């Protein structure tokens, strides 16, 4: 089985909603086992278990939340050098566009790279004026269809990369599939 962990911190419920969408996206890849866990519930063993993980946090001052940071600083530290090579990505919600959601995703990538993870974003568009080149981003709750699609696309891509790379399922390369990949021109 393809194993995906969606790990999130959420203060208002917005990032939890994103996490559920990321999980739903991962479920679009057959034979994928998915855990969606808050940072309070998750254990290092969950990270060790997964092939790929998506980490979501509120954008707090342009950086991941202190609770999510504490998880990696304190709980995960003992697994450092034991979890190299997993595939990972990020998502975040801020109060306004320009409020630091991309930078918060970048800070998550920075943490994940330190643990030896391979991190990625999504090339294509999820809808009109919406992409996730550096992770899925939302302004407040993921209410708009294209934001929801962006979260799902991130989760699907994560499960595709792990299916392809960890499990050798070449049919799961995004370019091998029959799902159109939207360019900016497609969503004008």
Chain-centroid distance of CA 97 in Å reads 19
- Minimum gap (Å) between residue 156 Cβ and its own copies: 13
Nearer to its own copies, 32 or 65 (CB): 65
- Minimum gap (Å) between residue 35 Cβ and its own copies: 22
Residues in the chain: 188
Nearer to its own copies, 34 or 83 (CB): 83
- Minimum gap (Å) between residue 120 Cβ and its own copies: 5
| 97 half-sphere exposure, CB direction, 13 A CA radius | 4
Chain-centroid distance of CA 76 in Å reads 18
Chain-centroid distance of CA 57 in Å reads 10
H or E, element range at 90: strand 87-94
Q: Point out which residues bind its own copies (CB under 8 A).
A: 60-67, 69-70, 72-74, 80-82, 84-85, 87, 95-103, 106-107, 109-111, 113-125, 129-137, 139-140, 150, 161, 164-166, 168, 173-175, 181, 183-184, 187
- Minimum gap (Å) between residue 125 Cβ and its own copies: 6
Any residues with CB less than 8 A from the CB of 180 and at least 6 apart, and which? 186
DSSP SS3 for 68: helix
């Amino acid at each position: 089985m393809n194993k995906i962990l969606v790990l999130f911190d959420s203060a208002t419920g917005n990032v939890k909603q994103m996490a559920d969408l990321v999980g739903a996206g991962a479920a679009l890849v057959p034979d994928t086992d998915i855990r969606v866990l808050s940072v309070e519930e998750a254990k290092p063993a969950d990270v060790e278990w997964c092939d790929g993980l998506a980490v979501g946090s509120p954008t707090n001052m342009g950086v991941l939340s202190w609770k999510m940071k504490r998880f990696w600083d304190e709980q995960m530290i003992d697994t450092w050098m034991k979890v190299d090579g997993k595939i990972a990505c990020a998502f975040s919600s801020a109060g306004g566009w320009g409020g630091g959601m991309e930078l918060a995703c970048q800070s998550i990538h920075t943490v994940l790279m330190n643990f030896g993870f391979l991190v990625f974003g999504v090339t294509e568009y999820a809808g009109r004026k919406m992409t996730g080149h550096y992770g899925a981003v939302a302004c407040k709750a993921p209410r708009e269809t294209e934001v929801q699609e962006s979260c799902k696309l991130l989760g699907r891509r994560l499960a595709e990369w792990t299916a392809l790379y960890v499990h050798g399922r070449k049919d799961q390369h995004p370019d091998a599939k029959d799902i159109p990949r939207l360019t900016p021109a497609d969503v004008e």
